[in-house]
A = this chain, B = another copy of it.
Amino acid sequence: MDVAQLQASLSTHFAPWVQDLQLSVVEASAEGVVLRLPRSDRIERIGGLVCGQALMAISDTGMALALCRHFGAFRAMSTVQLNSQFLKPLVAQDGLAHTRLLRVGKSLAFGEIEIRGARDQSLVCTATTTYALL
């Protein structure tokens, strides 16, 4: 699946509330998938910081899309666990979430996500996640 197909999958397989984040797929390769989270008042909490809820949501979404790309199609799967660390705030800029698949086994897949500021490239959040392949 290329960038356009993954972008289409975002509108088909994900909840409308997740689509509200207006994520765009900006890269997709064997290395992983990169999503852009556009800056918006809608995801900022008091003080202008992007809320952690949005960063966790983009992490989970990135992993799902990286697995779609890996398998060449959307397939049934579910998140087993997702662990996020918040290093510093994301303020006044878009976010870029780089998802890398660490291992895809028969029934489990492992990945990691790094979220950086799109403008200053500073690392704001890292996540690791395990998915069950159904």
| Interface positions of A (Cβ within 8 A of B) | 12-18, 20-21, 40-47, 49, 51-54, 56-57, 60-61, 76, 78-89, 102-103, 105, 107-108, 110, 112, 123, 126, 128, 130, 132
Contacts and interface: CB of A to CB of B under 8 A. Distances in A.
Contacts of A110: 85, 87, 126
Nearest to A112: B126
Contact of A107 (B57, B82, B107): B107
Contacts of A18: 45, 51, 53
Q: How many copies does the complex hold?
A: 4
Nearest to A18: B53
A71 to B, nearest CB: 15
A60 B40 CA distance: 20
Nearest to A82: B84
A76 to B, nearest CB: 8
27 contacts: A12-B46, A13-B46, A15-B54, A17-B21, A17-B40, A17-B43, A17-B51, A18-B45, A18-B51, A18-B53, A49-B78, A52-B82, A53-B60, A53-B61, A56-B60, A78-B86, A78-B89, A79-B84, A80-B81, A80-B85, A83-B83, A83-B84, A85-B130, A88-B105, A102-B123, A108-B132, A112-B126
